[in-house]
Amino acid sequence: MGFAEPMRAHLPQHISQLQTPCLIVDTSKMTRNVARATGRLTGSDTKLRPHLKTVKSVDAISFTFSGRKIPATVSTLKEASEFGSAGYRDLLYAVAVSPQKLQQVHALRRTGVDLKIVVDSISAAHAVANSAAAEADPLPVLIELDVDGHRSGIGREDAGLLVQIGTILNNSAAELAGVITHAGESYGTVTDDGRAQAALIEQQVSVELAQTLRGANLPCPIVSIGSTPTLFSNAPVDGVTEIRAGVYMFFDLVQAGIGVCTEDDIALSVLATVIGHQQHKNWIITDAGWMALSTDRGTSSQQRDQGYGVVCDETGRPFEDLIVVRANQEHGIIARRPGTELAEIPDLPLGTRLRILPNHACATAAQHASYNVVDTGGNITAVWPRFGGW
């Protein structure tokens, strides 16, 4: 719980006692989402390496995986440090390392965390090689691949560069541990076929470039791919040793918009209170502005623009076509989705409590210091602190 026992008596016991805005988690949905991901890889040799960057809470991850110290992925050294201290020892820092962070990496590894890192250039490989030698640390390193032009990594047109980087690492005090990629463009797919195609390319290019390394007599034990959209496609995973995904634990409106989940699967919401109305405009004003929801407008480029979030009642049942159309820092403006009929705006008096489903769970969760875990009866069964920073 993250609270000392003497404070417990003062803590809210029911959703109706929570001050707003705050984060709500529905663990029945979270459990279902996690089981679905596990099911996707049942019977294959490919392992899941969940990404902790969405949830960023040791208590939440401990609940989700029943206390097992799963192999996991992190996006910051802060996450590596927090989860490392909590006993998670097999961690992959999936963002290309800057030379300035290597001392922190070695320090974390000296605490017993098997932290693996990522590079995608000759200069980074040299920096890592030098640092591994100076620290006598057989640091495992993955080379980042670019399968879809999304951001970082070595593309198939640069196979020669890939072998050069692999050779530098393999001849160093560090350990060439494999390849890693992220099919980030899969977030922009609009059909299941498009998503399956993105997943297929992710798998094929990764396996092909792993073979390029092996063909040059270089080791490539790990082939790490993944994103939530490609995890839930039906593309083959042959030759892939692990899949990384994080947002699937909560899901969100962006994922619903590309067909990876339904709105009913979304386990994360922001509890808000009605603080006013503009009757002339059919606006309902709440105390959940962008500070609580984030400024993420991930659905703005999707077929169904969800504004700053979908509006539900306090139990989590969505109102038809009611969304947060505008967000100031501490004000959310709720109205009917543009283009829909205005006649049926529900009567939501001052003080009414609502839940807002987020566009992007990673961004919305990051605006809060803890999760309130609420059961279907509205009872608060746990409070999970979360952390931010780097």
Whether 108 contacts 81, CB under 8 Å: yes
Of 366, 375, 382, 385, which lies in the binding site for its own copies, with binding defined by CB under 8 A? 366
Which of these segments, 32-40, 107-115, 293-301, 311-319, binds its own copies (CB under 8 A)? 293-301
Check binding of 134 to its own copies (CB under 8 A).
Answer: no
CA distance 134 to 9: 53
Binding track, positions 183-222, relative to its own copies; x by CB under 8 A:
-x--------------------------------------
Whether 353 contacts 285, CB under 8 Å: no
Of 151, 191, 301, 304, which lies in the binding site for its own copies, with binding defined by CB under 8 A? 151
CA distance 96 to 163: 18
Of 37, 107, 173, 291, which lies in the binding site for its own copies, with binding defined by CB under 8 A? 291
Of 97, 162, 334, 361, which lies in the binding site for its own copies, with binding defined by CB under 8 A? 97
Q: Closer to its own copies at the Cβ: 331 or 337?
A: 331
In the chain, % helix, strand, coil (3-state, to 5) comes to 35, 25, 40
Strands 353-357 and 268-278: antiparallel
Check binding of 351 to its own copies (CB under 8 A).
Answer: yes
Which of these segments, 130-138, 143-151, 215-223, 248-256, binds its own copies (CB under 8 A)? 143-151
Q: Which residues contact 259 (CB under 8 A, 6 or more apart)?
A: 191, 192, 195
Q: Which residue, 120, 110, 111, is CA-closest to 85?
A: 111
CA distance 290 to 298: 13
CA distance 243 to 47: 6
Which of these segments, 32-40, 131-139, 196-204, 349-357, binds its own copies (CB under 8 A)? 349-357
Q: Which residue, 93, 94, 88, 89, is CA-closest to 104?
A: 93
Check binding of 277 to its own copies (CB under 8 A).
Answer: yes
CA distance 77 to 95: 10
Check binding of 314 to its own copies (CB under 8 A).
Answer: no
Q: Which residues contact 167 (CB under 8 A, 6 or more apart)?
A: 216, 218
Q: Closer to its own copies at the Cβ: 41 or 291?
A: 291
Of 42, 66, 98, 303, which lies in the binding site for its own copies, with binding defined by CB under 8 A? 98
Check binding of 376 to its own copies (CB under 8 A).
Answer: no
Whether 191 contacts 226, CB under 8 Å: no
Check binding of 75 to its own copies (CB under 8 A).
Answer: yes
Q: Closer to its own copies at the Cβ: 16 or 85?
A: 16
Q: Could you tell me the smallest distance in angstroms from the CB atom of residue 6 to its own copies?
A: 20
User: What DSSP string describes 27-68?
Assistant: HHHHHHHHHHHHHHTTTSSPEE--B-TTT--HHHHHHHTTT-
Q: Closer to its own copies at the Cβ: 216 or 291?
A: 291
Burial of 191 (0-12, 13-18, 19+ CB in 10 A): exposed
Q: Sign of dihedral through CA atoms 126, 128, 133, 139?
A: negative
Binding track, positions 220-259, relative to its own copies; x by CB under 8 A:
----------------------------------------
Q: Which whole-number Å values give the CA distances from 228 to 80, 105, 122, 218, in the listed order?
A: 21, 27, 30, 30
Q: Closer to its own copies at the Cβ: 152 or 197?
A: 152
Check binding of 117 to its own copies (CB under 8 A).
Answer: no
Which of these segments, 62-70, 170-178, 194-202, 364-372, binds its own copies (CB under 8 A)? 364-372
Using CB under 8 A as the criterion, which residues of the chain lie in contact with its own copies when the complex forms? 19-22, 53, 75-76, 95-101, 104, 120-121, 123-124, 127, 144, 146, 149, 151-152, 155, 157, 184, 273-278, 280-281, 283, 285, 287, 290-292, 294-297, 326, 328-331, 333, 349-351, 360, 362-363, 366-369, 388-390
